[in-house]
Amino acid sequence: MRWVYVFFFMSVIHLGVIAQFSAGFHLQSFHPTGDLKEAAPNIWGGGFGIEGLYRIPTSPLQVGLNFGMVRYGSELRKGWHGTILGDVRYRRQFELLQMSILTRFHIIDKGYVRPYIEGQIGVQGVYTRSIIRGRGRDDFYDHFLDIHDFALSYGFGVGVQIELDEAIFLDVGIRDIRSSRTEFLTPNSVSFDRDATQYSLDVQQARFNHWQGILGINIRLD
């Protein structure tokens, strides 16, 4: 998945530097809601997001792209995994990628405190990946996807940008993200049979709805 990160990072740099409007980086928390909370109430997580926004001239409206990555679970089992794998460290990471078109309206676009509302529509990929290593931390063995699925998504949010410098703002907000139904795994839906030395994956399905808490930096370049 590294090429995906590189591609979207370069896209944001292009929007922010060539178009000279704004670019942002933020940390984000993940809290399940609705169907997802009922299906998997114990999951939670965090990640990061980057965005590039074009500001329509003489308007408080911005339009651009948003990319985010969240890890909502991780588990590690060390020990015997049968005659083929042997004694290994078997880690699973449960993750979410988000790509969306973002529209943001600044209610107040001057002053030190600038509240805004926003909407977005896009896609999100939910996947679980396995990383197998020998008992030595740097002894790499294999990696692969256990499951992956895509869903359409949309969301709304509110936030506030607080001026730190002439073109640098602290960005604080919250987003309500909704999606179509998708298949996924969680740490609680994966079990290991010691006698058969194999994993059992209980694939779940739900709308991957969640809240995101946002804390980051936004740089205006116009």
pLDDT digits (tens, 9 = 90+) for 24-67: 999 999 999 999 999 998 899 999 999 999 988 888 899 999 99
> What is the pLDDT averaged over residues 155-165?
96
Sign of CA dihedral 14, 48, 168, 102: positive
Q: What's the pLDDT tens digit per position in 71-93?
A: 999 999 988 888 878 888 899 99
**What pLDDT shows up at residue 20?**
61
Q: Is 99 exposed, middle or buried (0-12, 13-18, 19+ CB in 10 A)?
A: middle
**What pLDDT shows up at residue 184?**
95
- Contact status, residue 126 vs residue 184, Cβ threshold 8 Å: yes
Compare 191 and 119 and report the one with higher pLDDT: 119
**What pLDDT shows up at residue 166?**
86
- Please state the pTM of the whole predicted model: 0.82
- Asked whether the predicted pLDDT for residue 222 surpasses 90, the reply is no
CATH class for the domain made up of 2-220: mainly beta
Q: Please give the share of the chain, as a percent, with pLDDT higher than 90.
A: 64
- Asked whether the predicted pLDDT for residue 156 surpasses 60, the reply is yes
Number of alpha helices (DSSP H) and beta strands (DSSP E) in the chain: 3, 12
- Contact status, residue 89 vs residue 76, Cβ threshold 8 Å: yes
**What pLDDT shows up at residue 64?**
95
- Asked whether the predicted pLDDT for residue 18 surpasses 50, the reply is no
Backbone φ and ψ of 216, nearest 5°: -165, -165
**What pLDDT shows up at residue 5?**
43
Sign of CA dihedral 163, 168, 172, 176: positive
- Asked whether the predicted pLDDT for residue 2 surpasses 70, the reply is no
d(CA 191, CA 75): 11
Categorise residue 135: left if φ over 0, alpha if ψ from -120 to 50, beta otherwise.
alpha
Q: Could you tell me which of 127, 124, 136, 43 has the C-alpha nearest to residue 89?
A: 136
Predicted confidence band of residue 137 (pLDDT cuts 50, 70, 90): low
Q: What's the pLDDT tens digit per position in 190-211?
A: 988 888 888 889 999 999 999 9
Q: Is 217 exposed, middle or buried (0-12, 13-18, 19+ CB in 10 A)?
A: middle
**What pLDDT shows up at residue 134?**
82
Q: Where are the alpha helices (DSSP H) in the chain?
A: 2-13, 34-39, 82-85
